[in-house]
Amino acid sequence: MPEISAGDTAWVLASAALVMLMTPGLALFYGGLVRPKNVLSTLMHSFFILGLISVQWVLWGYSLAFGPSVGGVVGSLAWVGLRGVGQDPGPYSDTIPHLAYMAFQMMFAIITPALITGAFAERKRFKAFVLFSLLWATFVYDPLAHWVWAKDGWLGNLGALDFAGGTVVHISSGVSALVAATVLGHRVGLGKEKMEPHDLTMTVLGAGLLWFGWFGFNAGSALAANGLAASAFVTTNTAAAMGALAWVTVAWAHKGHPSVLGAAAGAVAGLVGITPAAGYVTPSSSILIGLGAGVICYFAIQLRERLRVDDALDVWAVHGIGGTWGALATGIFATTTVNSAGKDGLLYGNPGQLVTQVIAVLATWVFCGVMTFIILKIVDAVIGLRVPEQEEVLGLDLSQHGEPAYQL
């Protein structure tokens, strides 16, 4: 029997805790961007998902995502309730307990639907949010994770590279956010009244926590305390730094001032861009990936505004487009000198890898877009997606939760 490594186990458990902290960090990042009357409802989205998806993952989510493959499309229900998932190593690592791997992957499953909530902030019924999140995790996230990361998943078998979630986490949430924002429609008063962020200090704090947690997200995906984890750690930090610098510079040139929100958003964009590539590229390549993410995501927001889609907190521009850039950049910059288990990309003599990455991106866009639309329509038919207009004007903190964020 393979021998469990104390060092690898400690690193993966610590990484799981780092990724867990990202969801409350996301709550603060999003919470600062909404109006005072919707702060608690926005925080509650992320915090409630911590509970909801933790239980879903144990009961059936992990089995669907990583269980024995059914045609490369989804896992079987062999591991329902974590049956057979124990303290011995599992099929995904010889040096850590199967339960440690399960817990690490659970934190990814939690933050992904939480990312989508930024698109429908300030206008969705809480009941609709709960049902949507549960259905989306089960019918979108779990199969997609299986495609890419599970033994015999079809995209993994095709050779698609996604070190820590460019397709599984970021494209999936970003595309779903665009669909959700389109289906729900504009917030009441959009374009007629001020909807600026109410507390950028909260948002910057959230961005800092996200950057901190992302080391677990990416370096933890090495599943070992080794050189590959160190490499992914360095590329992650470098891309985040370059993303922040690039976004601030472009915004400064475009709008005439170095934006604090731009620094926070740019760092997140850089982190999104490097996520699929972190364990496959060199530090110098991560600078280019972070640069591309900062610039491309900034202009994606300008495009979204022209399209007049009310993706309230720009999930699609940062995660959907940033994740797409990162997945494609992996096909350009990946090298087996960093990770022998990976593949060389376009710049290292293998243009076919970029083609494979394009297939993975297109499959993720289409699957997530169509499935999210279907789920939203089902939820709308069953309980309705939006709060009534008078409740939206009052604010979701009071109308949905009966509590104000601030006693003014």
**pLDDT single digits (tens) 279-327:** 999 999 999 999 999 999 999 999 999 999 999 999 999 999 999 999 9
Cα radius of gyration (the chain): 20
Q: How many Å apart are CA 258 and CA 19, to the nearest integer?
A: 30
CA atoms within 13 A on the CB side of 71: 2
Helix (H) or strand (E) holding 95: strand 93-97
Integer Cα distance of 121 and 135 in angstroms: 19
* pLDDT, tens digit, 9 for 90 and up, residues 117-133: 999 999 999 999 999 99
pLDDT level of residue 408 (50, 70, 90 thresholds): confident
Query: Is residue 387 very low, low, confident or very high in pLDDT (cuts 50, 70, 90)?
Result: very high
Question: CATH assignment of 6-401, given 3.40.1440.60, 3.90.79.10, 1.10.3430.10, 1.10.10.10?
Answer: 1.10.3430.10
- Say if residue 138's pLDDT is above 80: yes
What is residue 129's predicted lDDT score, i.e. its pLDDT? 98
Q: Which of these, 185, 175, 191, 204, lies nearest to 122 by C-alpha position?
A: 185
Count other Cβ atoms within 10 Å, centred on residue 234: 15
Task: State the pLDDT at residue 348.
Answer: 98
- 1 pLDDT tier (thresholds 50, 70, 90): low
Report the pLDDT value the prediction gives residue 264, as an integer from 0 to 100.
Answer: 98
Nearest one of 324, 343, 323, 325 to 279, comparing CA atoms:
343
3-state SS assignment for residue 90: strand
pLDDT band at residue 5 under the 50/70/90 scheme: very high
143-201 pLDDT per residue, tens: 999 999 999 999 999 999 999 999 999 999 999 999 999 999 999 999 899 899 999 99
The string of pLDDT tens digits covering residues 236-252 is 999 999 999 999 999 99
**pLDDT recorded at residue 390:** 97
Summarize pLDDT for 328-353 with one digit per residue, the tens: 999 999 999 999 999 999 999 999 99
Whether the per-residue pLDDT at 359 is higher than 90: the answer is: yes
Instruction: Kindly report the number of other CB atoms within 10 A of residue 283's CB atom.
Output: 13
User: What is the rounded CA–CA span in Å between residue 275 and residue 166?
Assistant: 6
pLDDT over 90 at 75, yes or no: yes
User: What was the pLDDT predicted at 2?
Assistant: 73
The per-residue pLDDT for 395 is 97
Q: Where are the alpha helices (DSSP H) in 79-199?
A: 98-116, 126-136, 142-149, 154-158, 172-184
For residues 96-112, give the mean pLDDT.
98
What whole-number distance in Å separates Cα of residue 317 and Cα of residue 66? Answer: 29
**Tens of pLDDT, residues 364-378:** 999 999 999 999 999
List Cα–Cα distances, 371 to 118, 179, 271, in angstroms: 19, 10, 26
